[in-house]
Amino acid sequence: MLDDWSVMSRLWGLLTMWMLAKEFITTPNTDDKEPRVRKVKTAISGTQIVSLVGFFVLENVAWLSRRKVLAWSDKSQPKLILWCVRSWGVYVFAELGRLLFERIRKRRGEAGQEDAEARTQWNKQFVENLAWAPLTVHWTTPGGLLPESVAALLASYAQFISVQGLWKETAESA
């Protein structure tokens, strides 16, 4: 039941992706004057949007077919889930790339100064995605790469960082 709830709640992610894709296509990226920076940011954003659209579409098609809402065969569902996780993995690695690119620009002084809170936030995002990265590879490899105890530990740690950030945001908005 919790699995169904989590997939159903992510179903709305398709709407978010549609809005982000529309904004990405219609809004020119004029924030950065340097063409190299603009190209890298555009490539990373485009990759993230395409990969998340793939993730949401594949996950929801698999879920809806499992519930017999869509007429996909039971044999196709493991393939859908495999490609779903691969799409998510592309997003995770693109996010790591974005964070590293941002860090390099800050260190070179190209992106303005950074306060301690921004640095802490960057560290949390980087560590969270760094924890998810081996899991995306593990879950897309037949038989997995990691012992299940290590996979569970990494997933728990990444979720802990995520929930901790949400708790902090909730406390600040209250």
Give yes or no: residues 99 and 127 share one domain. no
Give yes or no: residues 144 and 64 share one domain. no
Give yes or no: residues 129 and 44 share one domain. no
* Alpha-helix runs per DSSP H in 113-147: 116-139
Give yes or no: residues 119 and 109 share one domain. no
Give yes or no: residues 1 and 23 share one domain. yes
Give yes or no: residues 97 and 123 share one domain. no
Give yes or no: residues 132 and 92 share one domain. no
Give yes or no: residues 107 and 126 share one domain. no
Closest listed residue to residue 53, CA positions, set 63, 65, 45, 64:
45
pLDDT digits (tens, 9 = 90+) for 56-99: 999 989 988 988 888 888 899 899 999 999 999 999 999 999 99
Domain residues for the domain of 51 are 1-113
Q: How many domains does the chain have?
A: 2
Give yes or no: residues 109 and 119 share one domain. no
Give yes or no: residues 122 and 39 share one domain. no
pTM (predicted TM-score): 0.85
Give yes or no: residues 102 and 121 share one domain. no
Closest listed residue to residue 7, CA positions, set 115, 99, 83, 81:
81
pLDDT digits (tens, 9 = 90+) for 11-29: 777 788 888 888 888 887 7
